[in-house]
Every structure is written in C-alpha cells, then in structure tokens.
Structure 1
Amino acid sequence: MMSTSPPRIAFAIETTLGNAVFLQNLKRAMSRRTDITPVWLPIDEHADDMWEHLPLVRSRLSIRGGLRTRWALQQAVANEPLRAAVVHTQRMAHLAHDFMSRVPSVVSTDATPSGLEDYLRYYGLPSQHAGWVGRAKNALHRRTYKVARGLLSFSEYTKRSLVQEYGVPDARVHVVWPSVDTELWHPDEARKPRDGVVRLLFVGGDLGRKGGMLLLRWARETRVRGWRLDLVTSSGFEAPPGVHVHVGVKPNSPELISLAQAADLFVLPTMADMSSWAIAEAKAAGLAVVTTPTGGVGELVRDGVDGRIVPVGDYAALASTLDALVSTPDRLRAMGRESRRMAEEKMDLRTTCDRMLDFIRNVTGI
C-alpha cells in the first residue's frame, strides 16, 4: 500500500552571508505548509568538526563545505527515505554527485563561476577560468549542473549564464528572485517621523564592495540638507555628520524592519553582486531604491518607476541622483508605492515558494 504521508525533501543550505537569509526565509514559508516534510540541513562552513582539523581540507572552503553537505545528506537519507533534495549552492553539491544520482536533486545558486568574475576583479584576485585549473573547474561545474534534475537561479542574469555558458537546458532552470515575507516586511506610516527629514538606508556587511564608501563620500560632500543616513554594516567606525552606523543588526529583526519602515530611500550602490535580499526587503517596506546593474541586481529595480539605476562605481551619477531624489520627497513616496506593488506581485515569499515547489516536483517527479 502506497504511503500518503507528505514527501520528505532535504534542504542543504550553506549559512554564510545572504544564504542564511535564504534559509531563514524558506523555513518561514515552509512552516505554513502541510504538503511536504522539509528536512533542514544547514551547512555551517565554520563548524568545529572533523573536516576542520584535516590539514588538506581545512584550508579549502569549498571542499569543507562539500564534505559537510555530502555527510549531512547521507545521514538524512539513512534515517528515513528522501523523495528529493535541494542543495544551495553548487559548490556544496560538487562532492555529492553519487547522492544526487540516487535521490532526485535540485541545485540553487545566485551565481556561476563566470558570473563571479566581477567579485574576483573587485578583490584583485586572478580569474577562475585561466589555464588547466580553470578548465577543470568548468568541467566540474558542468558535471554538477548535469547531475542535478533542475536549477534554481536567483536572477535572469545567472540563468543566462547557466544556459549559454554551461549548456543547461532552458526548461531545467527556474528563476526565483530574492523574496521576503510581505506580511513581516511592510510599510508602516506610523513609523515615519514627521520632521521633514528624508531618511536614507544602506544595508551591507562588506562596506566597500556594497558601495558604502561612495555613499559616505556623498554624505560628506553633498550640499543638499534635510537628510539622515542610517548605515547597517558589520563593523563600526567614526561617521560624518548625519550618518548613523548600526552594527550587529540581525536579518528579519524588528530593529532592521523598523529602520526600513522609517526610511524613504534605500541605497545600495554595489560594486559587485549577483542578487540582493536587502533590496527585496526594502521594496516590501515600500522604499524607493537606488542601486547599480551589476550581476542580476538591476533586475529588481525599474529605473524611473520604483527607483534609479546608476552605473557601477560612478560617483558623479550617484551623487547627482541622490541630490535630486532627496530634494523631491513626493517623488520618493510615489516610487515607494510602486516598490511595494512590485514586491507583492513578484517578491512575496509564499508565492515564490509555491512556484519553486511546483518546479521541484516537476523536475524530480515527486
């Protein structure tokens, strides 16, 4: 007699940076469902386990993560059969090909190696595509993408790379934009101070790469008055007048949501990125957004409708844009309303989760 219990699906997700937000949001969405049984396998790349103490492994982040993922998946399926698995990201899946051949698996990612070249250039690191090492890495990624039944991409930008540069069939890639709980993240007019000050918000742990230094330069040099900048980042520093630095703010925390609800404009002039959870959160909170077109980030903002897109690293364009927007609060409010509308239509966590699970069921056959 066939079992009628909901299918068990493992979610092996690394917990660094924005990936931790992805895991947290997925858990929130799945908690409301009864049609599947999620098996959560958070992969902590800094765990004090046996892999951390092996000399040839502990210095290689991808190998440690891959071994931890392989072990977690094997333990999960040993406890009780799995119908499918989702592994985030591909570097976590490279050492689990045998598991993925037995259990239908989907790999989710916000970037391909090709897409990460902007990161490497920003940090002054050599290309991953050079020489025999680059060819070997390319072959490994192609193999991982081939073993997976399907791919979840965080942007159309990354989907194009998967299809055009790595040969993944278009039908096997589903785009799932960064999404948030639009009931948790929502506008709240009661939190808007009535003092005539335009509030700008920046959220980014890596201040330099996320464009925070350009924003601080604007704060020092602009002649426009009547603004305040709240800057959420990973470490404190002495800020110029008008800038308030917030350190230790947790994802989805009341403090972070309150900062967004009090703000008028979200600014992320990022230098190198693939996607942005912070922009999705800001749009759900009803904020106009200024960002750059790097990676798939530009897909999240409709230039002139719910925000502005400025060229990467172009301080003059950023400063001119910010001066104009800070001086026109009515325009910011109109853009903010469009941001919320887009978030409800395309970034709502429950809707995104429904579509993602439909795709997983389709490609894995569960």
Structure 2
Amino acid sequence: MSTSPPCIAFAIETTLGNAVFLQNLKNAMARRNDILPVWLPIDEHADDLWEQLPLVRSRLSLRGGLRTRAALRRAVAQVPVRAAVVHTQRMAHLAHDFMSRVPSVISTDATPSGLEDYLRYYGLRSQHAGWVGRAKNALHRRTYAVAKGMLSFSEFTKGSLVKEYGVPDARIHVVWPSVDTGLWCPKPEGKPRDGVVRLLFVGGDLGRKGGELLLRWARETRLRGWQLDLVTSTTFEAPPGVRVHVGVQPNSPELIGLAQAADLFVLPTMADMSSWAIAEAKAAGLAVVTTPTGGVGELVRDGVDGQLVPVGDYAALASTLDTLVASPDTLRAMGQEARRMAVERMDLHTMCDRMLAFIRGVTGV
C-alpha cells in the first residue's frame, strides 16, 4: 500500500534577496517527489485589508505576520499540511498558535542583534538596547522556542541564535546561499579574448553594498585594460570603463551572461548578513573580493578563491583590486577554486537534500 508524500507549507516573504531564495527553492523542489510543497509567498505590497490600516501598513513585520498567519490557516483548511517552513522569523511572530499545532521550522539570515550594522549604516537608533531591546529579545526567544528547528544562512547567525537567544545548537541547520550550479557555471568558450579584465558588481542598494567605493576606484585607479559591469536598481552617469545595468532579473540569461564573461566579482558591502550574489559568482567561476561583515566572509576563503578587505577601507580595496586586475593568472586560479567550492558547498540540489532531511527530522514527517 503506497502512502502519499507529506505536504509541507513554505511561507516565504518576498522582499529583497528572499525572492531569490523562494525562486531557487521552487526550482529545486520541482524535481522531487518525496514531498508536496505548498507555496505561500508573502508579498510586502499586497493590496489587502492590512495595507489599508494605517497602524499596520507602516510596519512590515506586523502586516507580514498577519499575512503569514492567514496564509497558513488557509493552507491547512485546503490540504493536509503536516509541517511548515516560515521565512523569516518576523513572519512567524504572530503564528505561535499555528506552530504549536503544526510542527514548523523557521528560516532566517539574521537576528535583531545581527542587524545592528544595518542600523548604524543608515544612521538609525539601536533597537537592541533598553526596554525595546529586551522586549524584542523576549519575543524572538518565544518564537524560536515554539519552532521545532531553525535554518540559518550563516554560522554567524547561528552563533547569535545560540548565544543570545538560547536556541540549542542541535536544533539549527546552516544553509548557505545556494544556486543551481548547472545553470550558474563557467563558460570559457564565451569569454572575450581581448585582454580586458572584467569586474562585476551586483547590488540593488548601491551605497550599502559598497558600490560607491568601487566607483571611486574606477575613477582613481591608474590601471588600464579593465571594465566594470555594475548591476543595480537605479541608473546614473558612470565614469569611463563602467557600464550600468538596471532591471536585470535574478537567474536571468543576462545576469548569468555577465557573470560568465567576468573575471572578478566585487562586493565591498558595508552591512550584510549573507549573499546569493557571491554564491552565483563563485558557481560561475569568479574570484571574489568582499568584506567580512555578518556571515559574508564565510563564503570566501581569503587568498584561495578571493580576498577579504576590511569594511569601509577604501585604501585596502583599491590596493587589492589593483593587484588582482594586474594578475590575470591569479584570477583564473582563484576562479577555479571558487567553482570547486561552489559545487561542493553551494549547490542548490545538494542543499535542498540536506535541508529537507533536517526539516523532516525535526518535524517528524
């Protein structure tokens, strides 16, 4: 007698890089027949009741939590959901009653304390201190305690979950940003053979992602024979040697083509938790220059498949870029190591196997 595969609901917010996470998960799950995924994308800009209420629409966590709670309830009413994954934790704060009935896992790339670098970058007041910080800490502790397990996008965030929020180490599984390494792959025959070293930057928030520092280097470097492709959200007048690309979609042929034509990926980010763009670049065989902010530094082996430079240190960034751009052989060797690491530790389908094994193990499905 055959049994049907279990239904697992995936309630995932679609802001920023979370949309890439959702898209990649859908692609990976489409090849599987051991579970029935129920997709519940939580749209930040949905035209619903919560968008009409002034006290709710101004708070992403509140309206997102209400939408997640409603979506999970609808899903349970329609199909026999046996487990759930909620991404991120702010979507789960209003779903404690649901998670008490249906075994659930929370996925996150950051904790409130881990986001302090973001607040400092934008000149905002800390939310981790005083009574606000204590209240937020208590809420997160309760949410994490109700969940059967946690998926963390970095060892950095896992450490915060254990040390600051009391989540047992065994209940946390680290899932690095992962990509389809068959789709994101080197294409040596397609690389231009004109002697130009091509740099690639991908970041919607140009300032926070360090794009301004990279543009300064483009204006000031004395090196020649390079080109910088900059993928971001808004257009602007770029200096010579820089091409700006706006409106490029995740996993699109245009974005993959830019990576396959490049030699070096540069993301001198000022505040971050992790990075799908780095995983994509490494899968495409690119050396990576980035900073050790948050969990980003975990994705690069300094001196092996890229270089780490201090956050906000323009002199270090400029010196590193000048050295690497003048050393094509080093870039090629680092790119080969980057691809090897991506296949071993960032492959989407391998990640999906391990993630589902953890989910099924902690939820009992």
TM-score scaled by structure 1? 0.99
AA partner of residue 236 (structure 1): T
Question: Which residue in the other structure is 2:26 paired with?
Answer: 27
Partner Cα distance (1:358, 1:271) in 2: 34
Question: Which residue in the other structure is 1:218 paired with?
Answer: 217
In the TM superposition, 1:179-198 aligns within 5 A as 179-198=178-197
- Note the residue ranges of structure 2 that are not aligned, 5 or more in a row: none
Question: Which residue in the other structure is 1:347 paired with?
Answer: 346
In the TM superposition, 1:206-355 aligns within 5 A as 206-355=205-354
CA deviation vs aligned residue, 1:140-176 (integer Å, no higher than 9, x gap): 0000000000000000000000001100000000000
Question: Which residue in the other structure is 1:16 paired with?
Answer: 15
AA partner of residue 84 (structure 1): A
AA partner of residue 235 (structure 1): T
CA deviation vs aligned residue, 1:270-315 (integer Å, no higher than 9, x gap): 0000000000000000000000000000000000000000000000
Question: Which residue in the other structure is 1:61 paired with?
Answer: 60
Partner Cα distance (2:204, 2:15) in 1: 12
- Aligned-pair distance for 1:130? 2.5
Question: Which residue in the other structure is 2:83 paired with?
Answer: 84
In the TM superposition, 1:171-182 aligns within 5 A as 171-182=170-181
Partner Cα distance (1:342, 1:294) in 2: 20
Larger deviation, residues 78-87 vs 280-289: 78-87
CA deviation vs aligned residue, 1:71-130 (integer Å, no higher than 9, x gap): 000000011221100000000000000000000000000000010000000000011122
AA partner of residue 96 (structure 1): A
User: Are 1:356 and 2:355 an aligned pair?
Assistant: yes
AA partner of residue 31 (structure 1): A
CA deviation vs aligned residue, 1:324-345 (integer Å, no higher than 9, x gap): 0000001000000000000000
When the two structures are aligned, how many residues end up with a matched partner? 365
- Note the residue ranges of structure 1 that are not aligned, 5 or more in a row: none
Partner Cα distance (2:223, 2:267) in 1: 19
AA partner of residue 238 (structure 1): E
AA partner of residue 120 (structure 1): L
AA partner of residue 161 (structure 2): L
Partner Cα distance (2:343, 2:221) in 1: 34
Partner Cα distance (2:218, 2:270) in 1: 18
Partner Cα distance (1:363, 1:325) in 2: 45
TM-score scaled by structure 2? 0.99
CA deviation vs aligned residue, 1:181-200 (integer Å, no higher than 9, x gap): 00000000122100000000
Partner Cα distance (1:129, 1:117) in 2: 8
What is the RMSD of the two structures over their aligned residues, measured on CA atoms?
0.7
Partner Cα distance (2:30, 2:131) in 1: 45
SS of the equivalent of 1:116 reads helix
Question: Which residue in the other structure is 1:93 paired with?
Answer: 92
- Aligned-pair distance for 1:133? 1.8
AA partner of residue 62 (structure 1): S
- Aligned-pair distance for 1:131? 2.2
AA partner of residue 325 (structure 1): L
Larger deviation, residues 126-135 vs 194-203: 126-135
Partner Cα distance (1:339, 1:250) in 2: 23
- Aligned-pair distance for 1:3? 7.0
SS of the equivalent of 1:318 reads helix
Partner Cα distance (1:364, 1:158) in 2: 22
Larger deviation, residues 53-62 vs 25-34: 53-62
In the TM superposition, 1:36-51 aligns within 5 A as 36-51=35-50
